[in-house]
Amino acid sequence: MKKLFCILLLPLFACGGPEQSAGTATETPDRFVERINRELAAVRMDQGTSEWVFSTYITHDTEILLSLAEQRLSAWHSNAVAESLKFAGQDMSPATARALHLLKLSTAAPAPNDAAKRKELAEITTELAGMYGAGKYCPDDGRPCMALGELEVILAKSRDYDENLDAWIGWRTISPPMRDKYRRFAQLANEGANELGFADLGEMWRAEYDMSPAEFEQEALRLYNQVKPLYDELHCYARSSLARYYGEDKVPLDAPIPAHLLGNMWSQTWDNIYDLLEPYPGVGDVDVDRTLAKENYTPQQMVKSAENFYLSLGFESLPETFWKRSQFSKPADRDVICHASAWGLDGGNDLRIKMCIKQSYEELRVIYHELGHNFYQRAYSHQPALFQDSAHGGFHEAIGDTVTLSMTPAYLKEVGLVESAEDSHEAIVNRQMQRALEGIALLPWAKLVDEWRWGVFSGAIAPGDYNKAWWELRTRYQGVAAPVERTEADFDPGAKYHVPGNTSYTRYFLARILQFQFQRALCDAAGFDGPLHACSVYGSKEAGAKLADMLEAGSSQPWQDTLEKLTGTRQMDGSAIIEYFTPLMGWLEQQNEGKTCGW
């Protein structure tokens, strides 16, 4: 998804490079981990820079260079893990044991310990990412080809049923060629996971959460059930509103919503159709777009605005190299991956973002989010290489998400991005609707993407059922359906970046839970007295100090310990979401009274 950070392989777009040095027969576990940390710090630069060049210059040659770097990464990782097995059962410190565990998990696509298969897997992953990045819809009627960004604009702004349908179908023409490559990718990555002691790649991904894979599945379900009532009310209201606009023949009141009518290519966020769902028309409008246009903000000025928020909390300025090396705009002369991302190369000393920034409030919020990754990367840069990561993947995504919760109307007025900040009940409901259409609408989507992959990796979803299972999950969780018949000639999962890019999506689900839990703790630290939705921690050094203390731990300890530092509890909790959206929930329940909800 455009507005979310993507992490490939390691959190710094990492690894690859020189072959690892041989250990000695008398090497202790502690000394082994020290050596691996040195090697990992070195090999990250090779992989990271190769990934950066490929993402900003998508060519045949950069694809080859990246593939070679991926192969070096896989060889290094396979050798390091194989060597680590000699320490099984030996006495060692908890930190060393944790480092050895994280070493096994430090790749999202473990390659088999076979040179030919490593080469094949690296080529497939690079090809899949390149196919997505260069993907275009070329209509048969003579219209010019359209890239994803152009098609997203149509879905966001058009209210023509057929025009949206054409854009929706058109983007999905890029993914059928990925299908066989993805099937082979799953086979090879599963083989690599087997060699590391896991049943399949999905089980390996679920082992990242300091609990058993089975326990984590139950934890994710528990969290989803906490917030599902709010999503159900939102879905019911959205469907009835769309039915009024398009007609019940196109949007039946007892069926899933057609996927192309929710303003987003994947129906994962619905804020682009706010004009059709606005509770109180024209009340409390926060028109940041107007200010950005009036003042003609450049991409760099938009990034400066986001940086200033973090500086107000007590964080240090971004390094000068950030401004020299980041990509802020889409080049006119070449293909690039525009999917917003934050990079922490060289152990977090070389911070960058890569975006194709547009002059809009939506893009501004993405920037605030991405810088959350950068400040996190720098905070844990003092940790050994194996601990240079977030407490778990959801933490990395949640930091920037938490900061966007402080972009309240009062904050936007204080920094000159809006002229007024109305706080009537109607204005509050309107603004909560906007945020729910972005954040709450994402929750079922963020859960199902990996659930589909877990089924693919385990074999529960056979290659002949890839698309069928995808739409079954989308209907079950999201209550949306394909607007036209989809078959196994299609490969609709591949039309979402994180599938060909092999980036876990569970982190986004957990981040949506954690951001509200984090915000509640930060507001308490800031001494805020009022409803959670009205809190901004802008300028609070006390909140900033608590946040920095949590970030510095990286992945050096179980996430429960890190969570406790900030929140005082060791359990992720969705109750803060319900607290935050109390005004909207009450309003939705009134609007949906007597309606047929569910699908």
Question: Comparing C-alpha atoms, which of 345, 296, 271, 289 is closest to residue 52?
Answer: 345
Q: Which residue type occupies 277?
A: L
Cα distance between residue 296 and residue 536, in whole Å: 26
Whether 231 is a known active-site residue: answer: no
Q: Which of 77, 373, 392, 533 is catalytic?
A: 373
Ramachandran angles phi, psi of 147, nearest 5°:
-85, 170
Query: Does residue 392 have an active-site annotation?
Result: no
Helix (H), strand (E) at residue 136: strand 136-137
Which structure tokens are listed for 301? 């000025």
Q: Is the distance from CB of 11 to CB of 344 less than 8 angstroms?
A: yes
The residues, ordered by sequence, that sit 6+ positions from 328 with a Cβ below 8 Å of its Cβ are: 299, 300, 303, 353, 355, 357
CA–CA separation, 233 and 577 (whole Å): 14
Q: Is 370 one of the annotated active-site residues of the chain? A: yes
| 205 dihedral zone (left: phi>0; alpha: psi -120 to 50; beta) | alpha
237, 297, 508, 580: the active-site residue: 508
Which of 111, 186, 340, 526 is the catalytic position? 340
Find the catalytic residue in 235, 260, 498, 533.
498
CB atoms within 10 A of CB 586: 12
**CA-closest candidate to residue 439, choices 497, 514, 498:** 514
425 included as an active-site residue:
no
- DSSP, res 424: S
Q: Is 101 a catalytic residue?
A: no
Question: Any idea what the Cα angle at residue 511 is, between residues 506 and 517, rounded to 5°?
Answer: 140
Say how many Å lie between the first and final Cα of the chain, rounded.
25
Q: Which SS3 state, helix, strand or coil, does residue 197 take?
A: coil
Contact assessment for residue 15 and residue 76, using Cβ atoms and an 8 Å cutoff: yes
**Nearest Cα residue to 562 out of 290, 167, 210:** 210
Q: Of the listed 235, 260, 369, 392, which one is catalytic?
A: 369
Question: How far is the C-alpha of 55 from the C-alpha of 21, rounded, in Å?
Answer: 30
CB distance 553 to 565 below 8 Å: yes
Given 70, 370, 438, 451, which residue is catalytic? Answer: 370
Active site residue 340: yes
397 among known catalytic residues: yes
Residue 548 in tokens: 């920095």
Q: Which of 339, 392, 396, 533 is catalytic?
A: 339
Give me the catalytic one of 191, 208, 397, 438.
397
Q: CA distances (Å), 34 to each of 27, 39, 74, 281, 386, in order?
A: 11, 9, 20, 61, 10
* Residue appearing with tokens 């329940």: 589
Residues 387, 555: contact at Cβ < 8 Å? yes
Q: Are 42 and 13 in contact (CB under 8 A)?
A: no
Active site residues: 339-340, 369-370, 373, 397, 498, 508
